[in-house]
């Protein structure tokens, strides 16, 4: 399980780091069970920001050329799943709000990019870049643009279920999705290979669901958790080739209709 | 004077047309200057755009040196293996390798900052970006340019972080069967140094801006770089420029009439953030027709056909002078000559046909005036003073005989006479005769009918006469007087040293008779009295018509 996004900035100090780590609802307790599994087809997903940026009509570059020595299968805007693909374990009944969650803002994105939390869970956005950010919630009146200097933090809590998008006026590539899910029990982020491990505090029947860019991807997988760890033998496919090809084709047609950036100049 | 007047009108029209042409030329020059400035600005903008793109391409090629360095690739592989934290060993090795490769970069192709990014987007090592020193969480993986590099693309971008950066990135491969191990990112700061370098290579005055503020600028020496500050005040209205918003390049805008500017958005993320560059030029315009003198340089002045201008000016002046000579000086000169002839008596009257225009009318009027004066008996006498004019009407013959002439009391002359025969003529009191001013009014009580006339002895009239005297028998009193006058006249001529050969009394009498008749007819006088006197050293006769 990848929990690196919960690390604290050195500015916060060791004590704060320890206390925040304690707040993580994904942190494992000694006797908690774990649901292990593997994701497939995640390289067929497309990061919406990067996919948009490669369209020359958006003037994102003056030149963009593939390196021949890199295999074609890698030359797609697939997401960095340790930050962008959130594996959520949903309980059968609504769950209480979790302890505060730290979201790092830096490097042109947030960490994590997609997160699933129960409503009422407080999110703390910390700027880890050496320059300012201006985060705001798209259509969220309680999350208006405000300047954040280096190391500064601001908080926001999703009050109701739903999907919320966070953007940055100072960094167009920064887009974050917050999914407020009442039944959320626990989440985890996969490794680069797609392997994940979700901690479960209470035995019971759960549903495993992957979220990407604020949307569900792949099928929901029911999981029954007892005292022992659960190892899902079947990989969870988050995107199939046919759907990916269809999306790719639609995007290509859209790009063909739009005037080329160079032509516009 | 018609030609002169036509010339004045022509010159006036010419000056008017020249003035109109000057304003026309000013307008056309300014319009052409504005058009040329617009074209030049578009060219500048294109050149800057090409330069930015080409510079990014060239620098991306320099990144290969980092991409093929084995130490860099190995340090990235080690960093990738730990998804929690970048190992310190990997950082150190990466930093060492970065410094080594960077030191070998050509100076003109060097980057301001270089970042080595692993597959997780974390910055493993970096050079030249001290703001992030000690920040273990520093990463760049979210930016499309880095994400693309991590997925096998070389591309550029313009990032607006704490400053504006032109960025190029390319993948670093450790195993070609796997995803790239990471990416190498090179950045150049769009600061004044970059702007000056760009300006020197493109010849354009350029300013980079973001968030409504100018961040850097560079301009040729001939351009007043302070003008670039004015773009700040233009940003507000720039938002309303549709071309700028849709195509990323504004129309040519003139700020305060002092500087022409064209704005262009920078490619990359900066496009969405409203960052861009402005190219500027000072408009080639003149404030008015006389502005050409200020604007023209030595080359312009050398190209001007001064000789033609001088020739035209001289030609116009000469034509004007010629017309004035023909129509003013020459007629006056001719008129003066004719009048002088009239004054000398060479001609009796002016000949209007010899004159043109107003002078012809003047001559005609003058002749008419002379004729009228003569018809009235002549105007005031302009000859030497005589006793009649000074003393008024002379008494009749008996009184005349009682009148004492200075010559009669002087030493005896060769032949005595009754008339005046000395010069100067003196008054009865022995005083010299005051020359008569013809402008003075006539003496009161003067009988206008007692006019006098002076007849000078002309050689052609009298010289042929013989000095021999005729018979002195019983003659009329008038003839007796004439004989006396003849004797006085001959004597006076001899005194004056004149020849009297052939000057006979008969001819003298015939002349007097003709003169007498003429004067009596003209003035209605009953008789004419002749006397002699000296005029200009010569003997002269004076005829005085009398009505008694």
> Which is higher by pLDDT, B420 or B142?
B142
A106 CB neighbours in chain B (<8 A) are 137-139, 142
pLDDT score of B538 = 85
CB-based contact (8 Å) between B85 and chain A?
yes
Interatomic CA distance for residues B341 and B349, integer angstroms? 9
Interface with chain B: mutation pick from A11, A56, A67, highest number of B CBs within 10 Å: A67
* Whole-complex ipTM: 0.86
Interatomic CA distance for residues A136 and A159, integer angstroms? 16
Q: Give the side-chain half-sphere CA count within 13 A for B66.
A: 35
pLDDT score of B495 = 85
pLDDT digits (tens, 9 = 90+) for B135-168: 888 999 999 999 999 999 999 999 999 999 999 9
pLDDT digits (tens, 9 = 90+) for B19-40: 999 999 999 988 888 888 889 8
CA distance A207 to chain B (A): 27
φ and ψ of B162, to 5 deg = -75, -20
In sign, the C-alpha dihedral spanning A69, A74, A76, A79 is negative
Q: How far from B225 is each of A111, A186, B62, B195, CA to CA, in Å?
A: 44, 60, 33, 12
DSSP 8-state assignment for residue B393? S
Interatomic CA distance for residues A55 and A229, integer angstroms? 44
> Which is higher by pLDDT, B432 or B509?
B509
Yes or no, beta carbons of B143 and A76 under 8 Å apart: no
Interatomic CA distance for residues B131 and B161, integer angstroms? 11
The yes-or-no verdict on residue B250 having pLDDT over 70 is yes
Yes or no, beta carbons of B176 and A71 under 8 Å apart: yes
pLDDT score of B174 = 93
pLDDT score of B5 = 86
CA distance B283 to chain A (A): 24
CB B485 within 8 A of CB B491: no
Delimit the domains of chain B by residue range: 2-54+194-299, 63-189, 306-375, 387-546
The stretch B301-317 carries a mean pLDDT of 91
User: Which of A192, A235, A211, A203 has its CA nearest to residue A38?
Assistant: A235
CB-based contact (8 Å) between A259 and chain B?
no
- The count of CB pairs under 8 A between chains A and B is 165
Yes or no, beta carbons of B135 and A10 under 8 Å apart: yes
Instruction: Compare CB distances from A63 to B85, B156, B161 and report the shortest one's residue.
Output: B156
User: Which of B537, B463, B539 has its CA nearest to residue B501?
Assistant: B463
CA distance A133 to chain B (A): 9
Instruction: Compare CB distances from A67 to B140, B142, B152 and report the shortest one's residue.
Output: B152
B126 CB neighbours in chain A (<8 A) are none
Structure tokens at B180: 């790239």
Instruction: Compare CB distances from B249 to A63, A67, A265 and report the shortest one's residue.
Output: A265
> One digit per residue, pLDDT tens: chain A, 265 residues?
443 343 333 444 433 433 443 344 444 444 578 999 999 999 999 999 999 898 888 899 999 999 999 999 899 899 999 999 999 999 999 999 999 999 999 999 999 999 999 999 999 999 999 999 999 999 999 999 999 999 999 999 999 999 999 999 999 999 999 999 999 999 999 999 999 999 998 899 999 999 999 999 999 999 999 888 899 988 999 999 999 889 888 877 877 776 554 444 4
CA distance B280 to chain A (A): 18
H-type alpha helices, chain A: 13-23, 48-53, 81-84, 241-257, 261-264
Query: How many domains in chain A?
Result: 1
**SS3 annotation, B240-304:** CCHHHHHHCECCCEEECCCEEEEEEECCCHHHHCCCEEEEEECCCCCCCCCHHHHHCCHHHHHHC
Radius of gyration of chain B (CA): 59
> Which is higher by pLDDT, B181 or A260?
B181
pLDDT score of B190 = 95
CA distance A110 to chain B (A): 8
pLDDT score of B435 = 43
The yes-or-no verdict on residue B449 having pLDDT over 90 is no
Question: Closest residue of B to A51, CA-based?
Answer: B144
pLDDT score of B473 = 42
φ and ψ of A145, to 5 deg = -60, 135
Pairing assessment for the beta strands A195-200 and A133-137 based on DSSP bridges: unpaired
- Domain B63-189 fold is Beta-Lactamase (3.30.450)
Q: Give the side-chain half-sphere CA count within 13 A for B13.
A: 6
Q: Which residues of B255-289 are buried (b: 16+ CB within 10 A; e: fewer)?
A: beeebbbbbbbbbbbbbbbbbbbbbbbebebbeeb
Yes or no, beta carbons of B138 and A106 under 8 Å apart: yes
Domain at A167, CATH number: 2.60.40.420
A128 CB neighbours in chain B (<8 A) are 135, 137-138
DSSP characters over A43-60 = GGS--HHHHHHT-GGGT-
Question: Closest residue of A to B169, CA-based?
Answer: A64
pLDDT digits (tens, 9 = 90+) for B89-122: 999 999 999 999 999 988 888 999 999 999 999 9
pLDDT digits (tens, 9 = 90+) for A152-185: 999 999 999 999 999 999 999 999 999 999 999 9
Question: Closest residue of B to A76, CA-based?
Answer: B151
Structure tokens at B67: 């991409």
Say what angle helices B2-62 and B306-324 make with each other, to 10 degrees.
170
The stretch B4-21 carries a mean pLDDT of 91
pLDDT score of A262 = 45
User: Which of B46, B58, B47 has its CA nearest to residue B168?
Assistant: B58
Instruction: Compare CB distances from A63 to B57, B122, B134 and report the shortest one's residue.
Output: B57
Residue A218 makes CB contacts below 8 A (sequence gap 6+) with: A39, A41, A209, A210, A236, A237, A238, A239
CB-based contact (8 Å) between B146 and chain A?
yes
Q: How far from A248 is each of A51, A219, A260, B148, B149, CA to CA, in Å?
A: 10, 21, 18, 17, 20
Using DSSP, state whether B400 is helix, strand or coil: helix
The yes-or-no verdict on residue B464 having pLDDT over 80 is no
pLDDT score of B434 = 40
pLDDT interval class at B412 (50, 70, 90): very low
Interface with chain B: mutation pick from A54, A58, A60, A82, highest number of B CBs within 10 Å: A60
pLDDT interval class at B292 (50, 70, 90): confident
Interatomic CA distance for residues A209 and B468, integer angstroms? 173
| Domain interval for residue A151 | 4-264
């Amino acid at each position: 399980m990848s929990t690196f996004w919960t690390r604290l900035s050195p500015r916060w100090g060791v004590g704060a780091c320890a206390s925040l780590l304690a707040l993580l609802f994904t942190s494992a307790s000694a006797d908690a069970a774990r649901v292990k599994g593997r994701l497939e087809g995640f390289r067929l997903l497309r990061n919406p920001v990067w996919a948009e940026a490669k369209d020359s009509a958006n003037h994102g570059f003056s030149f963009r050329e593939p390196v021949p020595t890199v295999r074609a299968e890698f030359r797609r805007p697939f997401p960095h799943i340790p930050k962008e693909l959130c594996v959520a374990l949903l309980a059968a009944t609504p769950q209480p709000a979790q302890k505060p969650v730290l979201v790092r803002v830096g490097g042109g994105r947030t960490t994590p990019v997609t997160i699933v939390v129960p409503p009422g869970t407080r999110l703390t956005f910390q700027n880890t870049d050496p320059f300012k950010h201006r985060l705001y919630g798209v259509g969220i009146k309680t999350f208006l643009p405000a300047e954040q200097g280096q190391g500064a933090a601001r908080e926001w809590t999703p009050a109701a279920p739903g999907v919320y998008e966070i953007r940055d006026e100072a960094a167009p590539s920064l887009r974050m999705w917050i999914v407020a899910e009442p039944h959320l029990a626990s989440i985890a982020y996969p490794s680069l290979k797609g392997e994940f491990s979700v901690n479960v505090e209470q035995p019971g029947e759960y549903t495993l669901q992957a979220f990407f860019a604020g949307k569900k991807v792949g099928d929901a997988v029911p999981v029954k958790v007892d005292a022992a760890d659960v190892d899902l033998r079947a990989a969870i496919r988050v995107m199939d080739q046919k759907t990916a090809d269809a999306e790719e084709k639609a995007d290509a047609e859209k790009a063909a209709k739009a005037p080329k950036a160079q032509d516009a100049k | 004077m018609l030609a002169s007047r036509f010339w004045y009108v022509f010159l006036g029209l010419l000056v008017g047309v020249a003035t109109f042409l000057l304003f026309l030329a000013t307008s056309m020059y300014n319009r052409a200057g504005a058009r040329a400035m617009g074209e030049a600005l578009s060219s500048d903008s294109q050149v800057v755009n090409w330069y930015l793109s080409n510079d990014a391409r060239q620098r991306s090629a320099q990144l290969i040196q980092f991409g093929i360095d084995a130490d860099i690739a190995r340090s990235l592989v080690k960093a990738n293996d730990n998804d929690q934290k970048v190992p310190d060993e990997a950082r150190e090795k990466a930093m060492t390798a970065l410094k080594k490769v960077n030191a070998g970069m050509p100076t003109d192709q060097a980057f301001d900052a270089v970042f080595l990014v692993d597959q997780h987007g974390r910055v493993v090592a970096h050079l030249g970006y001290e703001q992030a020193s000690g920040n273990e969480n520093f990463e760049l993986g979210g930016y499309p340019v880095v994400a693309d590099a991590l997925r096998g693309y070389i591309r550029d971008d313009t990032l607006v972080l704490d400053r504006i950066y032109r960025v190029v990135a390319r993948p670093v491969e450790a195993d070609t069967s796997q995803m790239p191990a990471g990416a190498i990112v090179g950045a150049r700061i769009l600061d004044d140094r970059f702007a000056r370098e760009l300006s020197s290579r493109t010849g354009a005055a350029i300013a980079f801006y973001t968030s409504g503020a100018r961040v850097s600028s560079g301009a040729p020496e001939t351009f007043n770089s302070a003008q670039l500050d004015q773009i700040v005040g233009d940003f507000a209205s720039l938002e309303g420029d549709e071309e700028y918003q849709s195509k990323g390049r504004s129309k040519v805008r003139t700020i305060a009439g002092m500087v022409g500017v064209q704005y262009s958005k920078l490619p990359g993320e900066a496009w969405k953030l409203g960052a861009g560059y402005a190219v500027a030029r000072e408009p080639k315009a003149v404030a008015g027709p006389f502005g050409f003198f200020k604007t023209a340089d030595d080359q312009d002045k050398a190209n001007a056909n001064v000789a033609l201008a001088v020739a035209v000016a001289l030609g116009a002046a000469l034509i004007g002078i010629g017309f004035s000579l023909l129509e003013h000086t020459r007629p006056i000169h001719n008129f003066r000559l004719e009048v002088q002839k009239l004054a000398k008596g060479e001609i009796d009257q002016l000949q209007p046909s010899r004159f043109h225009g107003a002078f012809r009318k003047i001559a005609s009027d003058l002749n008419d005036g002379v004729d009228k004066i003569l018809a009235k008996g002549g105007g005031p006498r302009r000859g030497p003073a005589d006793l009649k004019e000074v003393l008024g009407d002379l008494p009749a013959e008996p009184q005349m005989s009682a009148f004492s002439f200075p010559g009669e009391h002087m030493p005896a002359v060769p032949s005595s006479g009754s008339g005046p025969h000395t010069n100067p003529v003196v008054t009865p009191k022995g005083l010299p005769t005051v020359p008569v001013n013809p402008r003075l009014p006539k003496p009161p009580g003067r009988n206008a009918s007692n006019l006098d006339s002076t007849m000078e002895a002309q050689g052609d009239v009298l010289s042929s006469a013989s000095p021999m005297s005729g018979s002195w028998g019983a003659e009329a009193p008038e003839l007796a007087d004439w004989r006396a006058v003849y004797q006085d006249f001959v004597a006076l001529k001899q005194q004056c040293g004149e020849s009297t050969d052939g000057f006979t009394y008969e001819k003298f009498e015939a002349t007097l008779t003709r003169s007498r008749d003429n004067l009596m007819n003209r003035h209605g006088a009953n008789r004419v009295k002749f006397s002699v006197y000296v005029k200009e050293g010569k003997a002269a006769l004076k005829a005085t018509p009398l009505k008694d």
